[in-house]
Amino acid sequence: MWKKEILDVFRRYTRLFICDKQAVKYYRNEIEKFSALNESTTKYWIDTIKYEINFGKLENASRLLECAAKAVIGKEYHFYIYDKNYLYNKINQIGKKMNEIENRRNFLKMENPVTKVETISSKPMVYFKNPKQQYLCFRRSFIQNLIKTADGRALRKLFTTCKFFYWFKQSPICYRLEICSDKKTSYCQESLYLNEKDINFTGLENLHVYAILEIRKCKSRNLLHKILPKIKLYNIRNVIILDQDLTIFEFFLLLSKQLLMIYLFNVTIFEVSGIQMDAKIFLKEIKNCPKIVHFEFINSKNFILCSTKPTWINRRIHVLENYQHETVYIENQILNIFDFQRFINYETLKNITLKNVKIRNENETEMGKKEIEEIIKAEVNPKNEVCIEIFD
């Protein structure tokens, strides 16, 4: 018996040679055969029914739909013909039921539907035969430029299309890179979980990370300095880094036009001179990311938070007990007066900026600008010149 791929051949052939009715008969006979074998044939049934609507008779299309429903669903249906629109609606309804049955059937055929996590070897190898014998309709220079300028997601599509592209640029694609100390080094689908002890893992060389970068629960504070020369970041969307020291150049490498969220907790960023980076520089660079919706920068000197979720700040209140912030920047948040007072340190506070922040008093009524300014001035050392900025 022919393989199922013959149905795709018939599907294209009958669209190119519409008048070949004999091929259409063979096509429908093969669809019935594969349906009897419990193979997925819904798309082929729908294709030949639409063919009959466009190039045949509505009555025949209706009978075909009844046959398709009986073959896949196992029930007999009878349809009364009104017009094309009525028949198309019935195709959509019956097609959904047919797809549900086939998906359930395919799921039961799977040996183990649970995702497997496999431990990776120290030297991963990629095997393929004769990559140089691929012949494409594009010039070699065009392909080289295409791969050179492609980001992570585009490379992923190219690599899955043809192994020849991977031969040009042998760089593994990684959706999520997580470095920690509480997990074993392993691959899980397109994610790499790397234990801190395996930081010299050879699989990091030329690794393309294109979505999520996370560093947490690590003893060393210089891991990013070790991995950035090895990996390549392409339009990272989410960055989560805890307990690390960065240079200002490493911080710039984390920023991209596609960045949606960046969370830096207990992270110190140093300038070229060795001093800590000013919070104003952080805010200036973050604002240049057009798609950013959430950013946090929390360490001993700075508390910076902006989120589209107005109650996000409640999750960060607990960190205030251990820090004495010099700069406080809060945007798009709602909090009560008691939590707000916890941000104000009597001795160290120098700058506080509030943008679109609603503060409610003990009576749950919203406070005005003057009231907020008076509370801040009353809570800080009068000898300190505190810069207070409040924007609607």
In a domain, 357, yes or no: yes
Q: Note whether 362 and 346 are same-domain residues.
A: yes
Query: What's the rounded Cα separation, in Å, for the pair 235 and 173?
Result: 13
Report the pLDDT value the prediction gives residue 122, as an integer from 0 to 100.
44
Long-range contact set of residues 220-227: C-beta below 8 Å, sequence gap at least 24: 220/196, 221/245, 223/179, 223/196, 223/199, 224/250, 225/250, 226/199, 227/179, 227/199
Torsion of CA 241, 277, 345, 300, to 10 degrees: 40
| Domain co-membership, 43 together with 20 | yes
Same domain, 102 and 140: no
The tokens describing 199, both together, are 């930081």
Give the single-character DSSP code of 60.
Answer: H
Give yes or no: residues 34 and 103 share one domain. yes
79 and 136 share a domain?
Answer: no
The pLDDT tens digits for 63-112 are: 888 888 888 888 788 877 777 888 888 888 888 888 888 887 776 665 44
pLDDT score recorded for residue 107: 66
Q: What is the pLDDT of residue 126?
A: 46
Q: Would the pLDDT of 114 be above 60?
A: no
> How far, in whole angstroms, is CA 320 from its chain's centroid?
31
In a domain, 309, yes or no: yes
- Structural tokens at position 189: 């689908």
288, part of any domain: no
- Specify whether the CB–CB gap between 209 and 224 falls below 8 A: no
Q: Are residues 103 and 168 in the same domain?
A: no
In a domain, 282, yes or no: no
pLDDT in tens, 187-239: 887 889 999 998 888 778 778 888 899 999 898 999 988 888 888 887 789 99
Last residue of a domain, one of 92, 109, 126: 109
Taking a C-beta distance cutoff of 8 angstroms, is the pair 140, 168 a contact? no
Same-domain pairing of 40 and 94: yes
Q: Does the pLDDT at position 119 exceed 50?
A: no
| 88 in the same domain as 166 | no
Q: How far is 255 from 237, CA to CA, in rounded Å?
A: 9
Helix, strand, or coil here: 226? Answer: helix
Answer whether residue 206 is part of any domain: yes
326-364 tens-digit pLDDT: 899 999 988 888 888 888 888 888 999 999 999 998 888
71, 89, 109 — which closes off a domain? 109
Residue 356, phi-psi category: left (phi > 0), alpha (psi -120 to 50), beta (remainder): left
Across the chain, mean pLDDT equals 82
Q: How many residues does the chain have?
A: 392
How far apart CA 220 and CA 131 sit, in angstroms, is: 41
Query: How many domains are contained in the chain?
Result: 3
Domain end among 90, 109, 128:
109
| pLDDT above 90 as % of the chain | 14
Q: Does some domain include residue 245? A: no
Task: Give the separation between CA 316 and CA 298, rounded to whole angstroms.
Answer: 9
Residue 136 banded pLDDT, cuts 50, 70, 90: low
Tell me, what's the pLDDT at 178? 93
Rounded CA gap, 118 and 253, in Å?
A: 30
Query: How much is the pLDDT for 137?
Result: 66
Model pLDDT for residues 209-221, shown as the tens digit of each residue: 888 999 998 989 9
Domain span at residue 20 reads 5-109
